[in-house]
C-alpha cells in the first residue's frame, strides 16, 4: 500500500509484493543457468566446426547466459529493495520501480533470442546441430522454458492490470460519482466473463449491477492491493486476539452482560417451550436435507453414493413426478432429501431444486412424528446463491404487524417472495394445511436458507399464528432493528462459535475495510514477514510475543508531518482515507440478525480440569442480542463453525453430555 505506479499507471500490486516472486524467479534462473553452462561447456567448441551459422550460435549462447546473469542480479536487488520497510513506508522501496522497469526492458532481447533458439532447435533452418543427446535435449528444454517464462509474464501482467490505473483519471480529478460508475462497470464486465452462465437468469443482470455497486462503494479510493487485504486480515487476527487478551485481563468481559453458561435448565427457563436444543437439532436435519445429494456425499464420503442408490429413481425423468421440479434424471436430489430427512417418499409433498439468482431450492415435508408441516429452504451452494447473498443492500420489507419503515436484505426478500409465489400456485400450502389441520407449520433453513425462512415466516405468520421458524447460522444483515425485535417471538436462531456469516453484513465489511487500513499503518513489519507469520499462525497458532512486537505507536502520526516528499504524501493520503472512509456507507439502514439468538461457544477448561485431566461440558451458551454480531472477527474456525454438519455435531454433543449429566444426577439422588 499504495499500489505501484509504473509506465504512467497504477497496478494491482505494491512495491513490497516482489519478494516471493523474486525468490521463485531467482531459483528458476539458477537452475536454468546451470543447464546452459553445461551446454556451453560441452558444445561451445563444436560450434567452430560448423560449416555455417556457428558464429550466430555462439552469439546466441553468450547472450542467453549474459541475460540470465543480469536477471539474477536484478532479482537479488528487487528482493532486497522490496523487503525494505513496513507496508506504508513507500520511500524505503523507491528503487523498486526503476529496477522493475529494467527487467521489463530486458524481456525484449530475451524474446528475440528465444525466437532464434526456437528456429535453431525445432525448425532445422540453422545448420549447426549437435549429435550429443544431452546438449540437444537441454537446448530444446531451454527454449521451451523460455516460452513458459514468457507466458507466465503475460499471465502475471493480466492479473495485476488495473483497468482504472491510467493517469488520465488522476489528471481530470473525477468526482466520486464518476469513479463509482467506472468501477461498477469494470466489476460488471468481470462478472459477465467469469459467470457467463448467469446471464440467462431473469435477475442475473440486476444481481451483477447490485453486487458491482457494492464492491465499488467498498473498495474504490482505498488504494489497497489484493496482498494488502491478505496481510491486513492476518494482522486483524493478531490485533483482535491482543484486544481480547487485554479485555480479559481487566475483566471487562465478565462484567459485560450475561455470561455463558452450561446450565441449560436455567438458560431456557424464560424461553418458549418449543425453543430447545433438542428441537433445534431435530429441525436441523430437515435443513440439511434441502441440500440434496451433495450433502449426502459430503457427510458420507465413502458410502454416500451407495446410500443414494437405494433412494434414487432410475429414469425418473420419464415418469410422472408432479411434486419434483428441476431434479436430474435419476432424481438424486429427491433421494438425498429422503436419505437425510428419513421420511417416506409420500411424506415429501413438494420439492423444487430450481436454482437461479434470487430463486432458491426448497422442500415442503410432512413430519408425522412431531405433527408439523415443514418448509425448509436451502442455503448457499452455488455461484447463483452467492450473488443472492451479495445483493445485500436494504430494501423495503412489508409484512403484517411490522413497522411501516421496515427494511430487509434485498436478495433474501426477492428469494422469499419467489418461494411464496410457488407455494400459492395451485393453492399448495393452503391445501396441505387444510388436510393436516392439527399440524403446525414450521420453517427452517441454514445460512441463506435461514434468513429467507425468517422472511417467509414474517409474511405468513398472520395467516398461521402458530408458525415457528428454526434458523441456523443466519447472516447478520437481515432485518432492521424493530423488525428483528418482532421476530424474537416466533424465530429461534442458533449460531456456533466464530461463524463468520453471522457477523457478515455490509456494515461489518465496511468496518473491516477501515480496520485493515488502520492496522496496516500501525504494523511495523514488512509484508513478506506478515505473510510468513500468517503461515506460521495457521500451523502453530499465534505466539504471545507477536501480540506485542507487531505494532508501533501511531498516536502521534499526523498528516501535517507527512507532506515533505512524494512518498510521504502517499502516507498522508492513506491516513486521510482511513479517517474519511467510515463516512461512506453503501446502505444507510443498518440490518441485524433476526429471531431470538442462542450463541454456543466452546468452553475453556478450568485450571483444575487441566491438572486432573478431567472433562466437563464441551460447550457453553447464552442468549445474545443482534448488536453483538456487528463486528466481523478473523478467527481460525470462522468457516468451520458455519458448516451445517458442524452445527449438527455441536448440538448432538450438547444433548449427549446433558443426558450423561442427568443420569449422574439421578444416580446420586438414589
Are 458 and 550 contained in the same domain? no
Of 20-34, 52-66, 298-312, highest mean pLDDT: 20-34
Task: Tell me the H-state helices in 88-225.
Answer: 96-105, 107-118, 133-160, 168-171, 176-194, 204-219
Question: Does residue 611 form part of some domain?
Answer: no
Mutual angle of helices 19-43 and 54-82, in 10-degree steps: 160
Q: Hey, is 602 helix, strand or coil?
A: strand
Instruction: State pLDDT tens for residues 372-404.
Output: 999 999 999 999 999 999 998 899 999 999 999
Are 215 and 232 contained in the same domain? yes
- The whole-number average pLDDT for the span 153-172 is 74
Residue 271 is placed in which grid cell? 424461553
Q: Using CA of residue 392, residue 393, residue 398, residue 403, what is the dihedral sign?
A: positive
Residue 85 is placed in which grid cell? 520497510
Who contacts 396 (Cβ-Cβ below 8 Å, separation ≥6)?
Answer: 405, 406, 407
Question: Does residue 81 form part of some domain?
Answer: yes
Instruction: State pLDDT tens for residues 587-638.
Output: 678 899 999 999 999 988 777 776 776 777 889 999 999 999 988 888 888 9
How far is the C-alpha of 291 from the C-alpha of 20, rounded, in Å? 41
Give the confidence band of 8 by pLDDT, cuts at 50, 70, 90.
confident
491 touches 454 (CB < 8 A): yes
How far is the C-alpha of 59 from the C-alpha of 67, rounded, in Å? 12
Number of helices (H), then strands (E), belonging to the chain: the values are 26, 13
- The whole-number average pLDDT for the span 39-68 is 82
Give the confidence band of 550 by pLDDT, cuts at 50, 70, 90.
confident
Phi, psi of 603 (to 5 degrees): -85, 135
Instruction: State pLDDT tens for residues 261-303.
Output: 888 889 999 899 999 999 999 999 999 999 999 999 999 888 8
334 touches 307 (CB < 8 A): no
Q: Locate cell 505473510: which residue?
A: 531
Give the confidence band of 31 by pLDDT, cuts at 50, 70, 90.
confident
Give the confidence band of 102 by pLDDT, cuts at 50, 70, 90.
very high
**Average pLDDT of every residue of the chain:** 84
Are 494 and 527 contained in the same domain? no
Q: Is the pLDDT of residue 173 over 60?
A: no
Of 57-61, 100-104, 252-256, 595-599, highest mean pLDDT: 595-599
Peptide bond into 592 cis (omega under 30): no
Question: Does residue 599 form part of some domain?
Answer: no
How far is the C-alpha of 540 from the C-alpha of 518, rounded, in Å? 26
Give the confidence band of 498 by pLDDT, cuts at 50, 70, 90.
very high
Are 374 and 414 contained in the same domain? yes
Are 234 and 268 contained in the same domain? no
Residue 129 is placed in which grid cell? 546441430
Question: Does residue 276 form part of some domain?
Answer: yes
Q: Is the pLDDT of residue 71 over 70?
A: yes
Q: Is the pLDDT of residue 253 over 60?
A: no
Q: Is the pLDDT of residue 447 over 80?
A: yes
Mutual angle of helices 176-194 and 204-219, in 10-degree steps: 130
Phi-psi region at 255: left, alpha or beta (left = phi > 0; alpha = psi -120 to 50): alpha
Residue 190 is placed in which grid cell? 468481470
Give the confidence band of 647 by pLDDT, cuts at 50, 70, 90.
very high
Residue 25 is placed in which grid cell? 524467479
pLDDT of residue 311: 76
Q: Using CA of residue 195, residue 198, residue 199, residue 203, what is the dihedral sign?
A: negative
How far is the C-alpha of 214 from the C-alpha of 217, rounded, in Å? 5
Counted domains in the chain: 3
How far is the C-alpha of 75 from the C-alpha of 67, rounded, in Å? 12
Q: Is 587 exposed, middle or buried (0-12, 13-18, 19+ CB in 10 A)?
A: buried
CA distances 354 to 188, 265, 331, 571, Å, are 24, 42, 13, 50
Residue 254 is placed in which grid cell? 465478565
Over its C-alpha atoms, the chain yields an Rg (Å, rounded) of 31
Instruction: Name the DSSP letter for residue 605.
Output: P
Give the confidence band of 566 by pLDDT, cuts at 50, 70, 90.
very low
How far is the C-alpha of 432 from the C-alpha of 374, rounded, in Å? 11
Residue 286 is placed in which grid cell? 430437515
Lowest mean pLDDT among 92-106, 120-134, 441-455, 557-571: 557-571
Residue 603 is placed in which grid cell? 468452553
Q: Hey, is 7 helix, strand or coil?
A: coil
Q: Is the pLDDT of residue 563 over 50?
A: no
Q: What is the CATH number of the domain that holds 391?
A: 3.40.50.1820
Are 154 and 203 contained in the same domain? no
How far is the C-alpha of 425 from the C-alpha of 427, rounded, in Å? 5
Residue ending a domain, among 104, 127, 162, is: 162
Question: Does residue 364 form part of some domain?
Answer: yes
Q: Locate cell 485450571: which residue?
A: 607
Q: How many CB atoms lie within 10 A of CB 161?
A: 11
Are 281 and 417 contained in the same domain? yes
Residue 215 is placed in which grid cell? 464492491
Give the confidence band of 578 by pLDDT, cuts at 50, 70, 90.
very low
Are 238 and 264 contained in the same domain? no
- The whole-number average pLDDT for the span 426-451 is 95
Residue ending a domain, among 582, 610, 627, is: 582
Residue ending a domain, among 447, 482, 503, is: 503
How far is the C-alpha of 536 from the C-alpha of 426, rounded, in Å? 59
Q: Is the pLDDT of residue 442 over 60?
A: yes
Q: Hey, is 599 helix, strand or coil?
A: strand
Are 75 and 119 contained in the same domain? yes
Domain of residue 430 covers 257-291+345-503
Question: Does residue 622 form part of some domain?
Answer: no
Of the candidates 500, 509, 468, the one whose C-alpha atom is nearest the C-alpha of residue 595 is 468
- The whole-number average pLDDT for the span 22-37 is 89
Question: Does residue 325 form part of some domain?
Answer: no
Are 274 and 146 contained in the same domain? no
Question: Does residue 60 form part of some domain?
Answer: yes
Are 153 and 211 contained in the same domain? no
Are 524 and 409 contained in the same domain? no
CA distances 296 to 227, 236, 291, 304, 342, Å, are 37, 36, 8, 5, 12
Q: Is the pLDDT of residue 210 over 70?
A: yes
pLDDT of residue 617: 87
Q: How many CB atoms lie within 10 A of CB 189?
A: 13
Q: Using CA of residue 13, residue 17, residue 20, residue 24, what is the dihedral sign?
A: positive
Q: Is the pLDDT of residue 650 over 50?
A: yes
Instruction: State pLDDT tens for residues 323-369.
Output: 888 888 788 899 999 999 999 999 999 999 999 999 999 999 999 99
Q: Which residue has the higher pLDDT, 129 or 92?
A: 92
Instruction: Name the DSSP letter for residue 606.
Output: P
Percent of the chain with pLDDT over 90: 45
Q: How many CB atoms lie within 10 A of CB 609?
A: 13
Amino acid at each position: 500500500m499504495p499500489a505501484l505506479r509504473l509506465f504512467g499507471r497504477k497496478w494491482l500490486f505494491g512495491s513490497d509484493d516482489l519478494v516471493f516472486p523474486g525468490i521463485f524467479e531467482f531459483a528458476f534462473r539458477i537452475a536454468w543457468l546451470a543447464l546452459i553452462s553445461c551446454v556451453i561447456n560441452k558444445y561451445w567448441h563444436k560450434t567452430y566446426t560448423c560449416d555455417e551459422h556457428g558464429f550466430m550460435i555462439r552469439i546466441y549462447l553468450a547472450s542467453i547466459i549474459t541475460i540470465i546473469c543480469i536477471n539474477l542480479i536484478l532479482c537479488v536487488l528487487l528482493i532486497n529493495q522490496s523487503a525494505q520497510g513496513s507496508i506504508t513506508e513507500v520511500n524505503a522501496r523507491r528503487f523498486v520501480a526503476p529496477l522493475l522497469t529494467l527487467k521489463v526492458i530486458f524481456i525484449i532481447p530475451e524474446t528475440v533470442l528465444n525466437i532464434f533458439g526456437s528456429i535453431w532447435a525445432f525448425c532445422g533452418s540453422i545448420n549447426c546441430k549437435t549429435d550429443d543427446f544431452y546438449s540437444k535435449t537441454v537446448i530444446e528444454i531451454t527454449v521451451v522454458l523460455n516460452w513458459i517464462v514468457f507466458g507466465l509474464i503475460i499471465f502475471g501482467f493480466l492479473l495485476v492490470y488495473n483497468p482504472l490505473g491510467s493517469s488520465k483519471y488522476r489528471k481530470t480529478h473525477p468526482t466520486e460519482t464518476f469513479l463509482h460508475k467506472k468501477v461498477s462497470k469494470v466489476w460488471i464486465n468481470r462478472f459477465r466473463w467469469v459467470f457467463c452462465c448467469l446471464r440467462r437468469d431473469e435477475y442475473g443482470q440486476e444481481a451483477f449491477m447490485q453486487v458491482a455497486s457494492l464492491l465499488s462503494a467498498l473498495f474504490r479510493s482505498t488504494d489497497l492491493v489484493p496482498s494488502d487485504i491478505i496481510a491486513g486480515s492476518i494482522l486483524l487476527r493478531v490485533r483482535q486476539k491482543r484486544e481480547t487478551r487485554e479485555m480479559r485481563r481487566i475483566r471487562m468481559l465478565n462484567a459485560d452482560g450475561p455470561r455463558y453458561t452450561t446450565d441449560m435448565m436455567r438458560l431456557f427457563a424464560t424461553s418458549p417451550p418449543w425453543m430447545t436444543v433438542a428441537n433445534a437439532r431435530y429441525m436441523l436435519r430437515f435443513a440439511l436435507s434441502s441440500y440434496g445429494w451433495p450433502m449426502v456425499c459430503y457427510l458420507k464420503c465413502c458410502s454416500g453414493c451407495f446410500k443414494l442408490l437405494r433412494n434414487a429413481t432410475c429414469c425418473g425423468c420419464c415418469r410422472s413426478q408432479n411434486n419434483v421440479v428441476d431434479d436430474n434424471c435419476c432424481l438424486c436430489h429427491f433421494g438425498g432429501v429422503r436419505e437425510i430427512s428419513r421420511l417416506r417418499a409420500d411424506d415429501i409433498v413438494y420439492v423444487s431444486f430450481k436454482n437461479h439468482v434470487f430463486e432458491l431450492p426448497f422442500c415442503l415435508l410432512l413430519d408425522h412424528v412431531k405433527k408439523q408441516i415443514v418448509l425448509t429452504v436451502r442455503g448457499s451452494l452455488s455461484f447463483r446463491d452467492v450473488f443472492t447473498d451479495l445483493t445485500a443492500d436494504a430494501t423495503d420489507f412489508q409484512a403484517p404487524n411490522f413497522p411501516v419503515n421496515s427494511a430487509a436484505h434485498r436478495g433474501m426478500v426477492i428469494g422469499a417472495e419467489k418461494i411464496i409465489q410457488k407455494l400459492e400456485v395451485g393453492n399448495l400450502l393452503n391445501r396441505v394445511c387444510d388436510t393436516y389441520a392439527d399440524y403446525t407449520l414450521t420453517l427452517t433453513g441454514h445460512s441463506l436458507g435461514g434468513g429467507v425462512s425468517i422472511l417467509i415466516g414474517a409474511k405468513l405468520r398472520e395467516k398461521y399464528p402458530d408458525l415457528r421458524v428454526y434458523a441456523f447460522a443466519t447472516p447478520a444483515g437481515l432485518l432492521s432493528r424493530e423488525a428483528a425485535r418482532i421476530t424474537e417471538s416466533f424465530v429461534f436462531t442458533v449460531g456456533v462459535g466464530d461463524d463468520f456469516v453471522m457477523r457478515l453484513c455490509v456494515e461489518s465489511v465496511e468496518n473491516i475495510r477501515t480496520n485493515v487500513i488502520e492496522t496496516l499503518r500501525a504494523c511495523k513489519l514488512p509484508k513478506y514477514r506478515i505473510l510468513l507469520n500468517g503461515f506460521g499462525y495457521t500451523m502453530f497458532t499465534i505466539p504471545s510475543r507477536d501480540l506485542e512486537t507487531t505494532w508501533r505507536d501511531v498516536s502521534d502520526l499526523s498528516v501535517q508531518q507527512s507532506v515533505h516528499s512524494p512518498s510521504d504524501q502517499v502516507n498522508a493520503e492513506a491516513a486521510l482515507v482511513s479517517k474519511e472512509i467510515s463516512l461512506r456507507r453503501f446502505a444507510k439502514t443498518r440490518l441485524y440478525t433476526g429471531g431470538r439468538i442462542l450463541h454456543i461457544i466452546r468452553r475453556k477448561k478450568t485450571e483444575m480440569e487441566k491438572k486432573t485431566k478431567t472433562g466437563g461440558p464441551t460447550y457453553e451458551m447464552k442468549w445474545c442480542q443482534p448488536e453483538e454480531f456487528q463486528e466481523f472477527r478473523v478467527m481460525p474456525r470462522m468457516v468451520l463453525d458455519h458448516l451445517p454438519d458442524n452445527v449438527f455435531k455441536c448440538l448432538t454433543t450438547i444433548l449427549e453430555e446433558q443426558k450423561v449429566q442427568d443420569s449422574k444426577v439421578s444416580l446420586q439422588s438414589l
